[in-house]
Amino acid sequence: MNSSNHPIYAVVTGASQGLGKAFALELAKKENNLILTSLPGEGLAQLAEQIEQMGCLVHYRETDLTITTNVMELTSWINDNYEIDILINNVGFGGNKRFLEVNADYIEKMLDLNVKATALITHQLLPALLKNEPAYVLNVSSMAAWCPIAYKTVYPASKAFVYSFTRSLQSEFSGRPISFSVLNPGPMKTNGDVSSRIETQGMGAKLLLIPPSEIAKISLKQLFRRKKVIKLNWPHRLGWFLLHVLPVSIKSAILSNNAKKEMERAEQ
């Protein structure tokens, strides 16, 4: 265990809303001090104030992590000023769009955030994490990582990277005082509009809808048990099983059709 008298922090990226916010609040309930980051103008200061009122130390930085220099400045700031033992790589974005209707900037930003930022933040903060025992890294992938999906296209490919990246780190650092876990959530009840669009996909999607607060609670419990692949509940476990045993042609057709329905619902 770390014997330093300095406070130890957990780092959460994409922390201002949705699952990232849920992780931050759940960690605060467990009396973890926090370092939070998100885009400017998303209410991060208010979240930090709420967490401070829970009795935890909290620092935050608003920055765009699609820009490499911002990633390096963030990690340097953390390394120069704080000791850490938990990293939650939650930052990322997706969406349903026709591939030919997106522009190059959309594709580049998705890859920069979902792939490059996750890899660079992990790489830059890993030495600091290894100074504290035990240490934990949780990378947020997606159930989409297990199947090609039309109208999402780049997103499942980027999340497949996160899944493979995490499993590779598990092998490379086996036996070291650090564990790497990957979470592959399905649809989330982030707001009423999102929930209603997903519910058009049928009973399977409805069963997989889980509030971010519940996902964070279950995920952290399994993270601290050093689970390599986090599974949330029985519908999620069933989805994991089906996506691993069904032929690509079948599962891709089903999920692509669902993505098209959700996209068309959003266009209305």
* pLDDT tens sequence across 123-167: 999 999 999 989 999 999 999 999 999 999 999 999 999 999 999
Residue 235: inside a domain:
yes
Q: Which of 60, 151, 155, 163 is catalytic?
A: 155
Q: What is the pLDDT of residues 216-254, one digit of tens each?
A: 999 999 999 999 999 998 888 888 888 889 999 999 999
Classify residue 215: in a domain, yes or no.
Answer: yes
> How many angstroms separate the CA atoms of 71 and 213, rounded?
27
How many separate domains does the chain show?
A: 1
Residue 101 forms part of a structural domain: yes
pLDDT of 265 = 79
Asked if the model's pLDDT at residue 51 lies above 80, the reply is yes
* 179 found inside a domain: yes
Residue 1 in domain: no
**Preceding amide of 148 cis, omega within 30:** no
Helix axes of 68-81 and 118-130: crossing angle, nearest 10 degrees: 10
What is the maximum span of the chain, computed from C-alpha positions, in angstroms?
58
Tokens of 52: 């401070």
Residue 3 lies in a domain: no
Between 12-16, 37-41, 189-193, the lowest mean confidence (pLDDT) is in 189-193
Domain hosting 184: range is: 8-267
Residue 113 has pLDDT above 70, yes or no: yes
The rounded mean pLDDT for the chain is: 91
- CATH at 203: 3.40.50.720
Q: Is residue 174 part of a domain?
A: yes
Mapping DSSP onto H, E and C, the string for the chain reads CCCCCCCEEEEEECCCCHHHHHHHHHHHHCCCEEEEEECCCCCHHHHHHHHHCCCCCEEEEECCCCCHHHHHHHHHHHHHHCEEEEEEECCCCCCCCCHHHCCHHHHHHHHHHHHHHHHHHHHHHHHHHHCCCCEEEEEECCHHHHCCCCCCCHHHHHHHHHHHHHHHHHHHCCCCCEEEEEECCCCECCCHHHHHHHHCCCHHHHHHCECHHHHHHHHHHHHCCCCCEECCCHHHHHHHHHHHHCCHHHHHHHHHHHHHHHHHHHHC
Residue 266 and residue 145: Cα distance in Å, rounded? 22
Angle CA 220–91–255, to nearest 5: 90
Is 237 part of a structural domain of the chain? yes
Say what the pTM is.
0.90
151 catalytic, yes or no?
no
164-177, pLDDT tens digit by residue? 999 999 999 998 99
pLDDT over 80 (residue 16) = yes
